[in-house]
Amino acid sequence: MKIANVAGRATVVTGPGQGMDVASASAGAFGPGLPGLFHQWGEFRAWVAGVTLGAPEVTFTPGELGPPSPSPVQVFAVGLNYRDHAAETGAELPPEPLVFTKFQSSLTGPATVVALPTGTVDWEVELTVVIGREAVDVSEADAWAHVAGLTVGQDISERTLQLVGAPPQFSLAKSYRGFSPTGPCLVTPDEFGDADRLEIGCAVNGVTVQKSSTSELIFPVPALIAKLSAVTRLYPGDLIFTGTPAGVGIGRKPRKYLAPGDELVSYVEGIGELRQRFVAQEGKS
Ligand code: ZN
C-alpha cells in the first residue's frame, strides 16, 4: 500500500495521481491527517485491508503533496552509513551509527523550490523510514514490524556551516528551510520484494551523481531501529534518514555544489522520486 499526504489529508494511492481519501472512506474513523493515522496504524491497516479501493476518488499533482510524516516527534539522521560514502569523505567506518537530527521545520513534500543560502549546498539522497509502532528495546528480528513504511528523503546539506568548527555541526547545517524534502508517498514494507535491497540515487540536471543500493548500508534498517530503540523511545511517525551513498558534491574533485537554476531528482526503487529546483536566496549571492 502507498499512502500520500494530499494537502494535509491521508490518501491511499490507487494509481498515478489518484487515490482514496481515508477520512471520507472511513466516515471519519481514520485521518484526516497522517499524524493521527500513525497512532492507529494497526487498526488502520486492518480496516484498509477490507476496503474496496477506488472510491471516493481524489486526484493530485506532486506539488500538492506534503511530507508523508509531517510532524514527527523525532527526526533521526545517520552519517557515514555507506562504505563508499565513508571512503569518499576520508572518514573511518564508524563502530556505531553516527546519529544527529534534522529539525522538523525543514521538512517538506516531494516537489519544491529551495532557496540556496550559500554556494556550498550539497545533495544526499537517503532511504527514509517512518515508524508505525512505539519501539523500546526492539530486536533486529522484530524491527521491520515497527515500520509503517519507507519513503525517499533528501538530506540537503550546507557544507560551510556543517564544517565550520570541530566537531562538525550536522543538525543545523542540514536544517535550513526546505532542506528535508520527503515523499512522494509512504510505501508499506510488504510492497517490496526485498526491503533491504533497493536501488537509490539522484541526478543533477539529468546527470546521475549518486547510484547505489540500500544493501550497501553499514547499519541497515533493522540495526538502526534496534540501536536507536535501545537508547530512545521511538514514536509512531518518527523519521529515520538512514544515510547517503557515495557521489555527494563535497566528495568530488573538483568539489561541486548546487547552483541557482539546478534541478535535483532523487529516487528509491519502488517508492518514487523527489524533485527540487534551486534558486538564489534573496539578498544573498
Ligand atoms: Zn545524510
pLDDT tier, 274 (very low <50, low <70, confident <90, very high otherwise): very high
Beta bridge partners of 280: 116
pLDDT tier, 55 (very low <50, low <70, confident <90, very high otherwise): low
Dist. CA 126 → ligand 1 center (Å):
7
Dist. CA 241 → ligand 1 center (Å):
7
Neighbours of 193 (CB within 10 A): 8
Dist. CA 282 → ligand 1 center (Å):
26
pTM of the entire structure? 0.97
Residue of higher predicted confidence among 261 and 166 = 261
pLDDT digits (tens, 9 = 90+) for 169-218: 999 999 999 999 999 999 999 999 999 999 999 999 999 999 999 999 99
Which H helix or E strand runs over 228?
helix 221-229
Which H helix or E strand runs over 96?
none
**Average pLDDT of every residue of the chain:** 95
Beta bridge partners of 122: 157
| pLDDT for residue 282 | 82
CB contact set of 119 (below 8 Å; sequence gap of 6+): 257, 259
3 state DSSP class of 224? helix
Dist. CA 58 → ligand 1 center (Å):
34
| pLDDT for residue 285 | 52
Give backbone dihedrals phi and psi of 248, rounded to 5 degrees, phi first.
-70, 160
**What is the mean predicted confidence (pLDDT) over 153-168?**
95
